[in-house]
Amino acid sequence: MSVPRFLVLVAALAVLVVGPMAQAGVWTQIQQVTGDVVNNSDDFGKALYMAGDYAVVGADDYNGKDGAIFIYHLSGGTWTQQASFLETAGNAYLGRAVGMSEDYAIAGAPQDASGGYAKLYSRSGTAWSYAQTLTGSDTAADDKFGQSVSVSGDYALVGAQLADLDGTADAGAAYIYHQSGGTWTQVQKLVAADAGPADFFGCSVVIKGDYAAIGAYSWDNAAGAQNEGAVYLYKIDANGTYNYQTTLTATSATASSSLGISVDMDGDYIISGSYQYDPPGGGHYAGGATIWHLGADGTWDELPRLTAFDGEDTPVAGDKFGTSVAVSGGYAVVGSPYFDADGTADTGAVYMYELSANGTWTFLEKLVPSEVNASDMFGWGVGVSGWYAFGGASGYDYTGQADQGAAFIFENSLIPEPTALLAVGAGIAAFVGVRKRRRLQ
């Protein structure tokens, strides 16, 4: 039996349209950026965060540890520096932690003698300006307020991992701020009900949607496993108050796993690194990362742990996979800054994962810059948004400047998508053009 030609053409078009759409793209390096004023030992790229078409990069050792941040914007397929803010307070380490939404950027300065602070910056059109300095209502010297920061909508969250709690040294705390009429006001202080000495609650934070997540990488479990680590989860209520929901831990965690050293959130997913986890069959401190999913019953379900086993590598002692994490739009990235590429020590790597249709996270590929050097520590900071991923290499030497630092930008390859499918029927079909499809943020 013969098949009409137009049906053959339609079937071929279905292969063209459906097949490539279901395949993961390849991530390729497209840019390398460094701040316009960074110098020797500035550590540009130690912290970074992405939101939509914006990225913020910290350089906490800028100008003798004063610190600085640099904001980039995507336009026409190129990331261009849109603003920079250079701190003048001595030894503040501004940019040790950074966060942003598309209208605000936030940077922590945890080393300031006052106990630390955070600065907020706001965007109007293409112009960024300083907005406000945040401090805790009860912070004291050495609290490291600003060790972690996050901002989303009208809320900001700042961690103070060495804050003492009722005589418990270095238990840690986190502070929530709300914006109204352009002014940010502290509305809550969060502490762990089961706080222990040196838990470092607030070492990492993220606030998005209805939730706030706070890492405590030296938390000890009830069985006495020291420094296993945990992530505390809070949810906002109708009155604007964040209430404790649950404590997230990882199955089969080892002592000193340090879960919570890094954390990020996107929609129904939370990811946290455990950079000192010892995976079965892997080396000491090879590292790992855990993702939880919010189920229909309102509980957060732990998914299979991510390690370098998911890629082409066997987890190697001291790689510290999970030092940094980010998740957005169906992609997750995990930094491993102590990874050795081709026998070169501590060049670093970033591992990319994609959310599959069945709800599992699948390894895509390992990202390394086109140029690798010893002690670049690529992956100390990571970010992902849409079709782009950033990886910070705070130890990268640029134009003869040792440890000046850089950020390497990777882009997902093109995925064919029809711009028009015309006149299918009456034996006629026409397929016109392909374009890049940008994933929803």
Report field, pTM of the whole predicted structure over 0.85: yes
What is the structure's pLDDT at 304? 93
> Mean pLDDT, to the nearest integer, of 81-92?
94
Q: Looking at the predicted structure, is the pLDDT value of residue 137 above 50?
A: yes
> Mean pLDDT, to the nearest integer, of 276-282?
86
pLDDT in tens, 376-399: 999 999 999 999 999 999 999 987
Res. 312 pLDDT band, cuts 50 70 90: low
Res. 254 pLDDT band, cuts 50 70 90: confident
Q: Mean pLDDT lowest for which of 45-49, 209-213, 275-279, 292-296?
A: 275-279
Q: Looking at the predicted structure, is the pLDDT value of residue 295 above 80?
A: yes
Q: Given CATH 2.130.10.130, say whether it is the number of domain 24-411.
A: yes
Average pLDDT of the chain, as a whole number: 87
> How far is Cα 270 from Cα 267, in angstroms, rounded to an integer?
8
> How far is Cα 135 from Cα 191, in angstroms, rounded to an integer?
16
| Higher-confidence position of 37 and 166 | 166
Beta strands in 9-110 (DSSP E): 27-33, 44-51, 54-59, 68-75, 78-86, 97-100, 104-109
What is the structure's pLDDT at 402? 86
> Mean pLDDT, to the nearest integer, of 218-247?
92
Q: What residues are paired with 361 via a beta bridge?
A: 355
What is the structure's pLDDT at 311? 62
Q: Looking at the predicted structure, is the pLDDT value of residue 22 above 80?
A: no
Greatest Cα pair distance, the chain, in angstroms, is: 86
Angle at 27 between CA 106 and CA 435, to 5 degrees: 95
> How far is Cα 98 from Cα 210, in angstroms, rounded to an integer?
20
Q: Looking at the predicted structure, is the pLDDT value of residue 66 above 80?
A: yes
Q: How far is CA 114 from CA 85, 111, 205, in A?
A: 20, 8, 21
Q: What residues are paired with 190 via a beta bridge?
A: 174
> Mean pLDDT, to the nearest integer, of 266-279?
96
What is the structure's pLDDT at 365? 92
In 3D space, the residue among 230, 321, 217, 237 whose CA is nearest the CA of residue 270 turns out to be 230
What is the structure's pLDDT at 219? 95
What is the structure's pLDDT at 11? 40
Place of tokens 């890492």: 215
Cα 320 to chain centroid distance, Å, stands at 15
In 3D space, the residue among 193, 196, 151, 201 whose CA is nearest the CA of residue 176 turns out to be 151
First-to-final CA distance of the chain = 48
What is the structure's pLDDT at 412? 94
Specify the DSSP class assigned to residue 87: -
What is the structure's pLDDT at 433? 33
> How far is Cα 94 from Cα 380, in angstroms, rounded to an integer?
16
Q: Looking at the predicted structure, is the pLDDT value of residue 350 above 80?
A: yes
> How far is Cα 195 from Cα 162, in angstroms, rounded to an integer?
12
> Mean pLDDT, to the nearest integer, of 96-110?
97
> How far is Cα 377 from Cα 396, in angstroms, rounded to an integer?
7
Share of the chain above pLDDT 90, in %: 76
pLDDT in tens, 155-213: 999 999 999 999 999 999 999 999 999 999 999 999 999 999 999 999 999 999 999 99
SS3 327: strand
Q: Looking at the predicted structure, is the pLDDT value of residue 10 above 60?
A: no
The residue ranges of every structural domain in the chain are 1-23+415-441, 24-411
Q: How far is CA 317 from CA 22, 240, 305, 351, in A?
A: 35, 44, 17, 17
Specify burial of residue 258 (Cβ count, 10 A radius: 0-12, 13-18, 19+).
buried
| Higher-confidence position of 415 and 282 | 282
Res. 440 pLDDT band, cuts 50 70 90: very low
| Higher-confidence position of 437 and 171 | 171
What is the structure's pLDDT at 435? 34
Which tokens go with 394? 């705070």
Which tokens go with 336? 């491993």
Task: Classify residue 184 as left (phi > 0), alpha (psi -120 to 50) or beta.
Answer: beta
Q: Mean pLDDT lowest for which of 10-14, 26-30, 128-132?
A: 10-14
The b-or-e profile of 92-123 (16+ CB within 10 A means b, else e) is: bbbbbbbbbbeebbbbbbbbbebbbbbbbbeb
> How far is Cα 250 from Cα 322, in angstroms, rounded to an integer?
13
The stretches of 53-201 forming alpha helices (DSSP H) are: 62-65
